[in-house]
Structure 1
Amino acid sequence: MWAGQSKWTKDTEPMGEINVTPLVDVMLVLLIIFMVTAPLLTQGVNVDLPDADAPAMQQNLEPLVVSIKANGQLYIQKKNISIKQLAPRIEAIRKEKPGLPVFIRGDAKTPYGKVAEVMSLLETAGIKKVGLVTEPHR
């Protein structure tokens, strides 16, 4: 067992500080990488999405379905409704059944702006999650 004196003198004592230069170098490289890639993430890329069949969702509750025809007519379930009545009706229905899922069935020829308007109205009615209904390929 060794019980001798330390060989360290005042001039050769170990340094008690951490060298942060490598850490700063790594952080600067990461900063540059994120600065270069961030603008690329905000731009849209035009892609042709593949056609796929998704399995049917299994649910215990019958969802609330908002249908939009190609001419812009709106329906809640099978009842015709005006665009001005949509948000108040959805709010009233959701007060009775708070966990009721909401789906949008849009005709394939419905303008995207109309679907976006309905989604915006659903958001003002307090709906945070909306499902979009599609048809499988035949």
Structure 2
Amino acid sequence: MLRRRGRLPAAPWLVAVTLSALLLAAARPAVGAAAWCIARSGASEKALQSALDYACGPAGGADCAPIQASGLCYLPNTLAAHASYAFNSIFQRSRAAPGACDFAGTATVTLTDPSQLWIMHLPFISKHCRAIRNTRLSILHSELHV
């Protein structure tokens, strides 16, 4: 079988194209896949604080009340946890739009539920924060209807 120089036979070319397509598909989140925006590991405290100030300010528009000192998701009281909460608030509101999780390079998208990343204890999805919120809301609801 003679081959022209620089050209692949049809079968290997088809395999190469198929593998490339599969690799590209695997690198992108599936439509409808859950995604969260969290503080990037290694971001400087100064950059994180600036991004958090932006996210919680009028321009960012994140609901940061839960991460205030009296808020339901204040703990853990770390800059990374609070920034992650604010970043994710904006990211989810944008419906995970491309580019909505950057915050001057201090944030990253994860497809792993942060509540499963128990080492970080991220409050915006932690089961602890959710349980406290639900308990307080049910107590408030019962007090209003007694």
- Answer yes or no: same fold by TM over 0.5: no
Alignment TM-score, normalising by the size of structure 2: 0.30
Structure having the higher helix fraction is 2
Alignment TM-score, normalising by the size of structure 1: 0.31
Higher RCO (C-alpha 8 Å, min separation 6): 2
Larger radius of gyration: 1
